[in-house]
Structure 1
Amino acid sequence: MRRLACLRGIDTLSALGLAVEVGDWQRFTGATIGAYLGLVPSEHSSGPNRFQGPITKTGNSHARRLLVEASWQHYKPYRGPGVTLRRRMELASLPVRQRADLGNRRLHQRWESFLARKKNTNVAAVAVARELAGWCWSLAVMD
């Protein structure tokens, strides 16, 4: 929980909810955690034609909701950890803090790229939530 709380938008209660809902993080990879939570687009393919639809919404809806709500916190510019986030980061080890800081910067960059391409903000929030799930997995399985 302390590792997950180093990411913007995930406080102690959200980290607890994610930890309980996902359970064993070791059974996933960074690419499969999004599919487990239903944050990947559905696909209809036939021959050379490929159509991606809305997200699958399979898996745990509570964890998915927590991640989508947390992704909105990355909409605002990231200028380093604020007072509250710095306090939560101090409880984690240095490699976890560095990895979380990298994740916070990357997730905000993803928001900026979606906004530059004039994507719908709700679609962008779900896409950032999918990547946020990968960063949560990365922090949870760190040694």
Structure 2
Amino acid sequence: PQKLVSYFGLNPRVRQSGLGAAHHGRISKVGRSHARAMLVEAAWAAAKAPGPLHAFFVRIRAKRGHQVAAVALARKLTVLCWHLLTREE
């Protein structure tokens, strides 16, 4: 799922030099911008519906804000779709 997430540009940038601790920053935005935008729109729709995805959105929104929560939910939806397609569930 990491390669699919990075294909859409939803993976965080990592800055690390030598043996120092890695710093995870904003999303990379390297991948397909239109597909990433559609995933974020799907995340907004999933955030409005009751269920575990809404609870995840609310938890992240309380800590980091609504935009970060929407992108985090888009990443979670991407991983969820990957698991559904590869495991044929």
Q: Whose Rg is larger? A: 1
Q: Name 2:46's counterpart in structure 1.
A: 74
Match of 2:3 among 20, 28, 32: 32
Cα distance in 2 for residues equivalent to 1:137 and 1:62: 18
Runs of 4+ in 1 over 3 A off after TM superposition: none
Contact (CA 8 Å) 2:10, 2:27: kept in 1 or not? yes
1:77 deviation in Å?
4.3
1:31 deviation in Å?
3.2
- The one of the two structures with greater contact order (alpha-carbon pairs below 8 A, sep at least 6) is 1
Q: RMSD value over aligned CA atoms?
A: 1.7
* Amino acid paired to 2:9: G
Contact (CA 8 Å) 2:61, 2:68: kept in 1 or not? no
Contact (CA 8 Å) 1:76, 1:108: kept in 2 or not? yes
Cα distance in 2 for residues equivalent to 1:115 and 1:60: 25
Contact (CA 8 Å) 1:34, 1:131: kept in 2 or not? no
* Amino acid paired to 2:38: L
Mark the runs of 5 or more structure 1 residues left unpaired by the alignment.
1-29, 79-104
Q: Secondary structure in 2 aligned to 1:49?
A: coil
* Amino acid paired to 1:32: K
Identical-residue share of aligned pairs (%): 38
